[in-house]
C-alpha cells in the first residue's frame, strides 16, 4: 500500500481479495482525505461492474455519489491514459 500512496496515479486490474483490499483501502483513504487524490482507473468494465456494484453502494447511502468520482472504469489503455490526464496526471519528459 505504501507504494500506491507515493504514486502519481493508480491502475487496478481484475483480481481477488488482495486486489479488492488494496483498492478499497486507497479509495477509503482518499474519501476521508487521509491520502491525496490520485487519478485512478479500474481496467475491465465487465469485471468491475459484475464484481462490485459501486452504484448500489451510493443508492444505499453507503457511500456518497461524489465518491463515485474517485475512480473511472475503462477497457482500453488509450482510454485509461486520457482519463488519467483529464484527472491531472502529467507526463514526465526528460
Q: What is the pLDDT of residue 3?
A: 42
Nearest-CA neighbor of 40 among 52, 54, 23, 56? Answer: 23
Q: Is the pLDDT of residue 79 over 60?
A: yes
Q: Is residue 36 within 8 Å of residue 4, measured between CB atoms?
A: no
Q: What is the pLDDT of residue 27?
A: 96
Domain hosting 69: range is: 2-86
Domain count along the chain: 1
Q: Is the pLDDT of residue 4 over 50?
A: no
Residue 78 contacts by C-beta under 8 Å, 6 or more apart in sequence? none
Q: Is the pLDDT of residue 10 over 90?
A: yes
Is residue 94 assigned to a domain?
no
Q: Is residue 26 within 8 Å of residue 10, measured between CB atoms?
A: yes
Is residue 28 assigned to a domain?
yes
Is residue 70 assigned to a domain?
yes
Is residue 92 assigned to a domain?
no
pLDDT tens, 12-51? 999 999 999 999 999 999 999 999 888 999 999 999 999 9
Torsions phi, psi of 63, nearest 5?
-135, 160
CATH number, position 40: 3.40.50.450
Is residue 91 assigned to a domain?
no
Q: What is the pLDDT of residue 2?
A: 46
Amino acid at each position: 500500500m505504501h507504494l500506491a500512496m507515493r504514486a502519481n496515479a493508480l491502475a487496478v486490474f481484475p483480481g481477488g481479495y488482495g486486489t479488492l483490499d488494496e483498492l478499497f483501502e486507497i479509495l477509503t483513504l482518499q474519501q476521508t482525505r487521509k491520502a491525496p487524490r490520485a487519478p485512478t482507473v479500474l481496467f475491465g468494465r465487465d469485471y468491475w461492474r459484475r464484481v462490485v456494484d459501486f452504484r448500489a453502494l451510493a443508492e444505499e447511502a453507503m457511500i456518497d455519489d461524489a465518491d463515485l468520482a474517485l475512480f473511472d472504469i475503462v477497457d482500453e489503455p488509450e482510454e485509461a491514459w486520457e482519463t488519467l490526464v483529464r484527472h491531472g496526471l502529467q507526463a514526465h519528459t526528460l
